[in-house]
Structure 1
Amino acid sequence: MADIILEARNINKYFHDPVDVKVLSDINFKVAKGEFIAVTGKSGCGKSTLLYILSTMDTDYEGELLIDNISMVNRPEAMLAQVRNEKIGFVFQFHYLLHEFSVLHNVMLPGLKLNKYPAQEVEQRAIERLSWLGIEKLANKKANQVSGGEKQRVAIARALINDPCIIMGDEPTGNLDKKNSELVFDIFRQLAEEHQQTLLIVTHDPEFAARTHRIIQMEDGKITS
């Protein structure tokens, strides 16, 4: 049995505004190491709400979330922040790069924050990840001097800097043209197949989802398949 990286057990979520509305219902699934999974469904079906819970950013839910076999329930915020920085890499629709810094410094930031390796080693790791993605030549450019597709690749390199257990993406190709969307998909597939990187990606793009290892389909706050 492959290592289980993430497990959701009977997760339920309510919004309390002003009355209780159930937005996630009995969510159960496991994610194994090296799996490349797409979470799909219509707008408003609960995909992003689920991702906030799975990423430990939302702790107001019923049920249990395990990351790397450790329960995230009732943990102090400082521990959850450490888990987010060390065990989860994030890639969003918008890259959220800091334009005043170089590409290299942007990739290094989560590694410097984790403080697990000396700065020189973090820099070496950042260069290595940029070269995995074929953009090491951009290292010394300011983040605002690279194209949209390149920015998203920089964001992926940044997500990889701390060797996360899992990369979570929220519509990471939603802002890209077809060519760059293809490029990002190929990078994700390569990460899963060559580096055993686990990926859980929320997407509206049926073509993207169809080529992942597995699709988690959501409707009205439930997993339907």
Structure 2
Amino acid sequence: MSKKAIEAKKIKKYFFSPGKTQVLKEVSFSVNKGEFVSVMGKSGCGKSTLLYILSTMDTDYEGEVFLDDKLITGQSSNYLSRLRNEKIGFVFQFHYLIHEFSVLENVMIPGLKLNEKSREELEHIAMEKLKIFDMQDHALKKANQLSGGQKQRVSIARALMNNPLIIMSDEPTGNLDKKNSDMVFGIFSEIVQEFQQTILMVTHDQELASKTDRTILMEDGMVISHG
């Protein structure tokens, strides 16, 4: 069994507007299972672009990406869509909850998409995920009735719904005050320790990055330190 959850090999990425600009320059690194890794760097250094490639949402790049030791570069969009749903949990700066849905229904969405379990089973799993974050009492509320910190907790519960191989997170605390930022970071640390979850987090917050297992530092589209 490989220890690596994800590996990038010589990733290059170009933007073409108006001229050709190289935004990622031979980026190579790996994240082991159960590791909490942050990616840091100034705005525009390519860290969010890299996350979109690793999460299979951007397929227009050179180089190779391996997820759980399988090459995912060059696979069909249907294959990648299923892989994303099965193996990758997402937590963004904006929680992207569906406001008309209840909290419980929002958490269930990845499970419904995967379509492998009954609705009853999914409701049970979603409830268990909400309990981790002490959000079970809010299960039947509409998402728009929650505070910012509560919404982010629900989005993390949703990311865990299919027990993913890795959680990828882009500036998860960027929209929160210090108290809620610390709370979200505390939850991340807890799920790494208690559930051996793997997390790759893009952040500009040096204090948060310093508390992760390792920090990958980026500058001008290159990895300059693996932490």
Shorter-chain TM-score range: over 0.9
CA RMSD of aligned residues (A): 1.0
In structure 2, list runs of 5 or more residues that go unmatched. Answer: none
Which residue number corresponds to residue 208 of structure 2? 208
Structure 1 residue 18: Cα displacement: 3.4
Equivalent-residue separation in structure 1 for 2:61 and 2:2 (angstroms): 28
Equivalent-residue separation in structure 1 for 2:125 and 2:106 (angstroms): 13
Which residue number corresponds to residue 169 of structure 1? 169
Equivalent-residue separation in structure 2 for 1:164 and 1:108 (angstroms): 14
Q: Equivalent residue of 1:113, what SS?
A: helix
Runs of 4 or more, structure 1, over 4 Å off, are none
Q: Percent identity?
A: 60
Q: Equivalent residue of 1:224, what SS?
A: strand
Question: What TM-score results when the alignment is normalised by the length of structure 2?
Answer: 0.97
Equivalent-residue separation in structure 1 for 2:159 and 2:201 (angstroms): 13
Which residue number corresponds to residue 71 of structure 2? 71
Equivalent-residue separation in structure 2 for 1:219 and 1:136 (angstroms): 42
Equivalent-residue separation in structure 1 for 2:210 and 2:116 (angstroms): 37
> Is residue 2:16 matched to residue 1:25?
no
Aligned counterparts, 1:45-124, within 5 A: 45-124=45-124
2:23 maps to a residue whose letter is V
1:29 maps to a residue whose letter is F
- Matched residue pairs, number? 225
Which residue number corresponds to residue 217 of structure 1? 217
Greater shift, 212-221 or 69-78, is seen at 69-78
Q: Equivalent residue of 2:13, what SS?
A: strand
Q: What is the CA deviation profile of residues 76-113 of structure 1, one whole-angstrom value per residue up to 9, with x for unaligned ones?
A: 10001011111000000000100101000000011011
Aligned counterparts, 1:120-135, within 5 A: 120-135=120-135
1:205 maps to a residue whose letter is D
Q: What is the CA deviation profile of residues 29-74 of structure 1, one whole-angstrom value per residue up to 9, with x for unaligned ones?
A: 1111110011000000000110110010111111100111111111
In structure 1, list runs of 5 or more residues that go unmatched. Answer: none
2:96 maps to a residue whose letter is Y
Question: What TM-score results when the alignment is normalised by the length of structure 1?
Answer: 0.98
Equivalent-residue separation in structure 2 for 1:200 and 1:116 (angstroms): 26
Structure 1 residue 17: Cα displacement: 2.2
